[in-house]
Amino acid sequence: MIESLYVLIMTAIACSVIGVFLVLRNLAMISDAISHSVLLGIVVAYFITKDITSIYLIIGAAVFGVLTCACIEILAKTKLITEDASVGIIFPLFFSLAVILITRYARNVHIDTDIVLMGEIILVPFTRFKLGFIDIPRSMFIMIVVFVANMLFILINFRKLKISTFDNVFAGAIGISTGILYYTFMGMVSLTAVASFESVGAILTISFFIAPAASAYLITKDLKMTILVSIIYAIINSYIGFHLAVALNVSISGMCATVSGLTFLCTVLFYPKGIVTDLISRRRKNRRFNKEMLVLHIGNHRNSEDRYKELGISTMKDHVKWSGYKFNHYVKELINEGYIYENSKDNIYDLTEAGWQLKEKVSTDYGLM
């Protein structure tokens, strides 16, 4: 059981590091297309080799992954349809052709479309890779190799990837072969996708590509840190998803994809510029502004002739035009914070020494002095 978790985590990490560049290049939907259309490459390679364990199946998948990108790009360049429409045409075409070929000519072969989609991580420890003293699940060995390959590709081409990701035109102008880099990158995505099929399936592969990277991108804009944070998200999503799935006796791939989506949602809500964080920040700023305005009102009218009306304990609420609840709430807060007090002699609200200091600071900050 624990080996299944290790394979799951390794798969998530291998996908997440390359997924960062998919997200930054706005290629999330193309990753979806690749994750499905490479099945056709696997099927075609099997028909040629007649060996379900052949390395040529991975090569065939990578070729069809790159071919998918090329077809999408060719269709998009015609200007007849948009790029997202091209994605919606190409990957269902390739994937459906693969399903037809499997159901028509490979019924007795272990190429299960359900496994391709959802995977079966719990079974991966039964297929072993043995070399000397090494005895680990075959999927673990494959994903380690894929992870190392992805990291080497990123390290070797980091500068080129960084420049072409953020300014492809500039990258071409300084001599970077953006076309070769793009298709090599897509080849790595294809290899990662097909390597993930056996253990986690296409659906979770897409989630591992996109969710950790998208979450990391919200937290940091530093590319190296984005990759690191993406790996952390991948580990957390896999660990929580696996244990929840085991506890609830549900699909591990489905639960991990769900957890990945939920962690992204939580990030959207609570990261420094997130929805909830922004609402809390706005509320805090609004509360501070209201209290400052009340202090300014008291300070500006303290020595005026109409101070008994403007600052009167029973009349001030009408002059600031606030509801009774709002007025009483902020007055109580300011009294508790030591900025104002009830001047029983004049029957008005007055500023304390700290209140006068706050009034001077607010006046300076707002350019009122």
Does the CA dihedral 157-160-162-166 come out positive or negative? Answer: negative
Q: Which of 45, 51, 50, 77 is nearest to 63 (CA)?
A: 45
The class (CATH top level) of 277-365 is: mainly alpha
Q: How far apart are CA 213 and CA 270, in angstroms?
A: 16
Query: Any residues with CB less than 8 A from the CB of 164 and at least 6 apart, and which?
Result: 171, 176, 178, 181, 182
Give Cα 59 distance to the centre of its chain. Answer: 29
Looking at the DSSP bridge assignments, the partners of residue 312 are 348
Q: Would you call 155 exposed, middle or buried from its count of C-beta atoms within 10 A (0-12, 13-18, 19+)? A: exposed
Cα distances from 112 to residues 99, 197, 306, in angstroms, run 9, 11, 85
* Tokens standing for residue 109: 């072969």
The class (CATH top level) of 2-271 is: mainly alpha
Q: What end-to-end distance do the CA atoms of the chain give, in Å?
A: 70
The residue assigned the tokens 């993406």 is 230
pTM of the predicted protein model: 0.81
The residue assigned the tokens 């479309």 is 113
How many Cα atoms are found within 13 Å in the side-chain-facing hemisphere of 295?
26
Q: How far apart are CA 177 and CA 190, in angstroms?
A: 20
Q: How far apart are CA 61 and CA 63, in angstroms?
A: 5
Q: Which of 15, 13, 8, 16 is nearest to 215 (CA)?
A: 16
Residue 106: phi and psi, rounded to 5, are: -135, 40
* Tokens standing for residue 182: 């793009």
* Tokens standing for residue 281: 């920040």
pLDDT of residue 112: 55
Q: How far apart are CA 19 and CA 54, in angstroms?
A: 26
How many helices (H) and strands (E) the chain has is answered by: 16, 4
Q: Which of 90, 84, 82, 77 is nearest to 34 (CA)?
A: 90
How many Cα atoms are found within 13 Å in the side-chain-facing hemisphere of 132?
1
pLDDT of residue 214: 94
Q: How far apart are CA 293 and CA 98, in angstroms?
A: 68
pLDDT in tens, the chain (369 residues): 788 889 999 999 999 999 999 999 888 888 888 877 888 888 888 888 887 777 788 788 888 888 888 888 888 888 888 877 888 888 889 888 888 888 877 666 555 555 556 667 777 877 777 877 888 888 888 899 999 999 999 999 999 999 998 888 888 888 888 888 988 898 888 888 888 877 787 788 889 999 999 999 999 989 999 999 999 999 999 999 999 999 998 888 889 999 999 999 999 998 888 889 889 999 999 999 999 999 998 988 888 878 888 888 888 888 888 888 898 899 999 999 999 998 888 888 899 999 999 989 988 888 876
Domain range annotation of the chain: 2-271, 277-365
Question: CA triplet 269, 274, 278: central angle to 5 degrees?
Answer: 115
